[in-house]
């Protein structure tokens, strides 16, 4: 049986401006005591994390306010412990606060055993779990370690690398395509694949070492395809160890202006749709295929 996850990663927050993720329901509701010291958080990883936040979660209106007189950016981080964990779960968690973006981020470095399969899942990097914007983000500085970045240098670096992108290999894309087609069939979308008279166009957003999700925009079918997992897609043993979560989002029925107009977890606001399209089309990779099939390979 395939594992299906209805919401996860960055999308869990910004659909309706509240945190709806399965892992976190508030900024700290499932996290308790702080460990003695934070896990390693080096410069290279910090750069990748900030680039990911820059592409997916920074809000121009917020930055215009918080950075008005700033000359540096301060990132606060600490290790946190979930209130409940399985006996075989040795995963590590980080809480990262970014007051300049009024953003609280939670990360996970997977390290657990699946007893039923006798499989050990160990991630190389901390991966993005969730993000949540706060109108005011007040912190007790004594509880966090910090990293500081000169403002102009940081944004110059983000600007210079804004079009850099890493994408799944051809082999991974073929496997992901099979997963997507299976979910399409389960969701009743197979009729949308019968477009034999036109070129199939799909955009793929870049992947990141700080996130185990992949977004695709299938233009002909007017669908977003969202893949998630606990391991890197390019991990050598990914297809032996990992289970892939696949979600199909129909642009004609699941997009709203605001969450106020429609309750439920299956709707995306125009704000987050804009973020997905920005990363898929502006920063992503276009794939074209002649014929009647979904093209993400």
**What integer pLDDT is reported at residue 216 of this predicted model?**
96
Residue with tokens 């990992």: 242
Report the alpha-carbon distance of residue 181 to residue 176 in Å, rounded.
Answer: 9
Distance CA 183, CA 277 (A): 21
Tokens, residue 99: 């007051």
Question: What is the reported pLDDT for 270?
Answer: 87
Q: Rounded to 5 degrees, what angle do the CA atoms 182, 263, 273 make? A: 60
Cα dihedral 250→278→208→102 (10° resolution): -100
pLDDT in tens, 200-209: 899 999 999 9
- The tens place of each residue's pLDDT in the chain, 297 residues long, gives 233 323 333 333 333 222 222 233 333 444 444 444 555 667 888 889 999 999 999 989 899 899 988 999 999 999 998 888 888 889 999 999 999 999 999 999 989 887 776 778 888 889 999 999 888 888 888 899 889 999 999 999 999 988 888 998 888 888 888 888 888 888 887 776 665 557 889 999 999 999 989 999 999 889 999 998 876 666 666 666 567 888 999 998 888 887 777 666 677 888 889 999 999 999 999 998 876 555 555
CA nearest to 100, candidates 148, 156, 29, 38:
148
- In the predicted model, what is the mean pLDDT of the chain? 79
Q: What is the pTM of this model?
A: 0.79
Is the separation of the CB atoms in 145 and 94 below 8 Å?
A: no
Q: What is the pLDDT of residues 77-111, one digit of tens each?
A: 999 988 888 888 899 999 999 999 999 999 999 89
Q: Nearest to residue 222, comparing CAs of 196, 245, 206, 203?
A: 203
Q: What is the pLDDT of residues 176-209, one digit of tens each?
A: 888 888 888 888 877 766 655 578 899 999 999 9
Element (H, E) at 106: strand 103-109
Evaluate whether 128 touches 58 at the Cβ level (below 8 Å): no
- pLDDT score, position 169: 85
Q: Is 112 helix (H, G, I), strand (E, B) or coil?
A: strand
Distance from the first to the final alpha carbon of the chain: 24
Instruction: Say whether 177 sits in a helix, a strand or coil.
Output: helix
List of E strands, 115-179: 119-122, 127-133, 145-150
pLDDT of 113 reads 83
Q: Please choose, from the candidates 157, 128, 103, 119, the residue with its C-alpha nearest in 3D space to the C-alpha of residue 49.
A: 128
pLDDT at 5: 29
- The burial class, CB within 10 Å (0-12 / 13-18 / 19+), for 164 is exposed
Element (H, E) at 243: none
Q: What's residue 291's pLDDT?
A: 63
């Amino acid at each position: 049986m395939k594992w299906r996850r209805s919401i996860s990663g960055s999308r869990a927050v910004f659909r309706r401006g509240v945190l709806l993720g399965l892992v976190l329901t508030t900024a700290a509701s499932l996290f308790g005591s702080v460990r003695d010291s934070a896990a390693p958080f080096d410069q290279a990883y910090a750069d990748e994390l900030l680039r990911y936040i820059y592409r997916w979660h920074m809000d121009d209106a917020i930055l215009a306010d918080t950075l008005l007189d700033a000359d540096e950016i301060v990132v606060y981080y600490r290790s946190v412990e979930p209130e409940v964990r399985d006996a075989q779960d040795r995963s590590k968690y980080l809480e990262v606060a970014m007051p300049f973006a009024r953003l609280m981020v939670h990360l996970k470095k997977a390290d657990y055993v699946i007893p039923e399969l006798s499989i050990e899942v160990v991630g190389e990097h901390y991966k993005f779990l969730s993000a949540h914007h706060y109108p005011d983000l007040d912190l007790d500085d004594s509880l966090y370690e910090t990293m500081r970045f000169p403002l102009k240098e940081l944004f110059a670096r983000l600007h210079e690398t804004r079009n850099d992108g890493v994408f799944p290999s051809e082999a991974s894309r073929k496997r992901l395509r099979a997963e997507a087609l299976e979910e399409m069939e389960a969701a009743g979308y197979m009729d949308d694949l019968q477009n034999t008279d036109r070129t199939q166009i799909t955009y793929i957003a870049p992947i990141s070492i700080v996130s185990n999700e992949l977004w695709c925009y299938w233009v002909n079918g007017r669908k977003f395809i969202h893949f998630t997992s606990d391991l890197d897609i390019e991990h050598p043993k990914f297809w032996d160890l990992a289970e892939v979560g696949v979600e199909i989002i129909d642009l004609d029925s699941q997009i709203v202006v605001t969450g106020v107009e429609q309750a439920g977890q299956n709707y995306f606001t125009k704000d987050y749709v804009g973020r997905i399209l920005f990363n898929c089309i502006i920063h992503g990779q276009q794939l074209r295929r002649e014929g009647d099939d979904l093209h993400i390979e």
